[in-house]
Amino acid sequence: MKITAIETYIAGNPWKNWVFAKVLTDEGVYGIGEGTVNYFARTVETAIHELKHLILGLDPFQIEILSQKLIRDVYTDGGQVHMCAVSAIEIACWDILGKVTGQPVYNLLGGRCHQKLRAYANGWYRGPRTPESFHEKARDVVRRGYTALKFDPFGDNWRTLPRYEFDLSLDIVRAVRDAVGNPVDILIEGHCRFNPSTAIEFACAMADTRPMWFEEPVPHTNIGAMVEVARRSPVPIATGESLFNKQQFADLLKHDSVHILQPEPLNLGGLWATRKIADMVDAHFGMIAPHSAQGPVCSAACAHLNASLPNFLIHEIFDEFNEPWEKEIVTHAVEVIDGYIEVPERPGLGIDLNIEEILKHPYQQENAIPLFRKGWEKRQYK
C-alpha cells in the first residue's frame, strides 16, 4: 500500500478554524486527520502541502519512518505550526491502519485500558463575566450529566490581577463551586496569563474551593516559573498543551513537580509521539489529560489515545458547546453520555468527514480565540 495524495479542508468554526486532512492510498483506503492550531489555519494547510512530497509513495503503516521524514529530515524547527501539519498526516495514517486491519486505533496503540472515559466540559461559559452568569451556566453543565468542568474566570488580564479583578475572579470560582456542589470537580484555566507571584497568590486564595487543577497559570515557555508555582501552590498544577516535542516534556518532568500533564497530540506530531510522552509521564507517576479543544477529528483521536493509556485522567470536551453544525461535518462524532464517553469499536478512528457540510462553513480570518481582548468569553468578535 502506498500514499498517493493528500487533500485538505478547513471548516470555519467561529471559535477556531479547523484544519482537516484526507490521506489517500493506491488501494482505495483513505484516512482522515486534523491539524488545527489557533490563528494559523491557512499556514498549517500550506505546510501540509509543502511536506506531502516527502511521503508520497510510502507505506502508511510505517508511522515512525513517516514521522522522521516529516520532522527530522526537514531540519527546521517550525514549532506548533510544523507539528500540526505533521499530525494531520500522521493521524490519518493511523485511521488507514485501523481500517485495513479492522481494528480501532486504540488496539494498535496497546489495547483498551478503559471501557469508558470520564469527560470534563469546556467552552460552556459563553456570556457575561459575572458570578451570576457562571453560576447559572455551571448548573446547566451539571444537569447535562458532567462531573467536571473547566473555565477561565480571569477576563483579559495579563501578568497581574488588580485587586478588583482578583476579587471578581475569585468570586466567579466560588460561584461555580456553589453551583455544582462538592462532588463535581472544577478545573481552573490560566491560559499562561500570570507571573509566578500572582499565580501563587491566586492559587492560595482559591484553595478552599478545592479545584482539581490550576492549568497553565504562567507561560509554558518558562519551565522554571512553572516549576516554582507548582512547588508553592496548594492546588495541583496542570500544563503541557503548548509543548511540541518530547524533549520539552523531559525537561519539565525532571523536576518532579507537575504531575498532571496535558499533551496536545496535534502540537506533538500525532498519536505515536503523544503515546511515547504518556509513558514518560507514567515513569514520573504522572497522569495524562490530553488537551482536546480543537475539532471533532481531534476529539476522536484523543478518545482512542486515552482509551489506551493506563495513566489517563480525564478527557476534555469542547464539542458539545461549539456550533450545533459541528456534529454534521463528521459521522459518529464523539458523544458524552452522563459525563462519560463510550469507547468506540469501529475500525480506525471510527469517523469520517462530511465534505459537503464542511464546505458550507468556509474559513474566516477572524475565527480565533482572542484571549487578551475584553469580553472574549462572549465569543462575539465580529
**pLDDT tens per residue, range 57-84:** 999 999 999 999 999 999 999 999 999 9
pLDDT in tens, 183-231: 999 999 999 999 999 999 999 999 999 999 999 999 999 999 999 999 9
Residue 298's pLDDT is what? Answer: 98
Examine the pLDDT at 382 and tell me if it is beyond 60.
no
Classified by CATH at the fold level, domain 107-349 comes out as: TIM Barrel (3.20.20)
Residue 377's pLDDT is what? Answer: 85
Residue 52's pLDDT is what? Answer: 97
What is the enclosing helix (H) or strand (E) of 261? strand 260-261
Classified by CATH at the fold level, domain 3-103 comes out as: Enolase-like; domain 1 (3.30.390)
What mean pLDDT is predicted for residues 317-325?
93
Residue 75's pLDDT is what? Answer: 93
Examine the pLDDT at 259 and tell me if it is beyond 80.
yes
pTM to 2 decimal places? 0.97
Percent of the chain with pLDDT over 70: 99
C-alpha to C-alpha distance for 317 and 315, rounded to whole angstroms? 6
Examine the pLDDT at 8 and tell me if it is beyond 70.
yes
Percent of the chain with pLDDT over 90: 95
Domains of the chain by residue range: 3-103, 107-349
SS3 for 81? helix
Given pLDDT bands bounded at 50, 70 and 90, which one contains residue 378? Answer: confident
Given pLDDT bands bounded at 50, 70 and 90, which one contains residue 255? Answer: very high
C-alpha to C-alpha distance for 64 and 200, rounded to whole angstroms? 41
Given pLDDT bands bounded at 50, 70 and 90, which one contains residue 15? Answer: confident
What mean pLDDT is predicted for residues 151-172?
98
Residue 380's pLDDT is what? Answer: 67
pLDDT in tens, 273-306: 999 999 999 999 999 999 999 999 999 999 999 9
C-alpha to C-alpha distance for 307 and 111, rounded to whole angstroms? 8
Catalytic center residues: 191, 291
Contacts of 217-224 spanning 24+ positions with Cβ under 8 A: 217/190, 217/192, 217/193, 218/190, 218/192, 218/194, 219/192, 220/192, 223/248, 223/251, 223/252, 223/255
Residue 379's pLDDT is what? Answer: 73
C-alpha to C-alpha distance for 212 and 173, rounded to whole angstroms? 12
Q: What is the mean pLDDT of the chain?
A: 96
What mean pLDDT is predicted for residues 319-328?
92
Please state whether 285 falls in left (phi above 0), alpha (psi between -120 and 50) or beta. left
pLDDT in tens, 94-112: 999 999 999 999 999 999 9
Examine the pLDDT at 28 and tell me if it is beyond 90.
yes
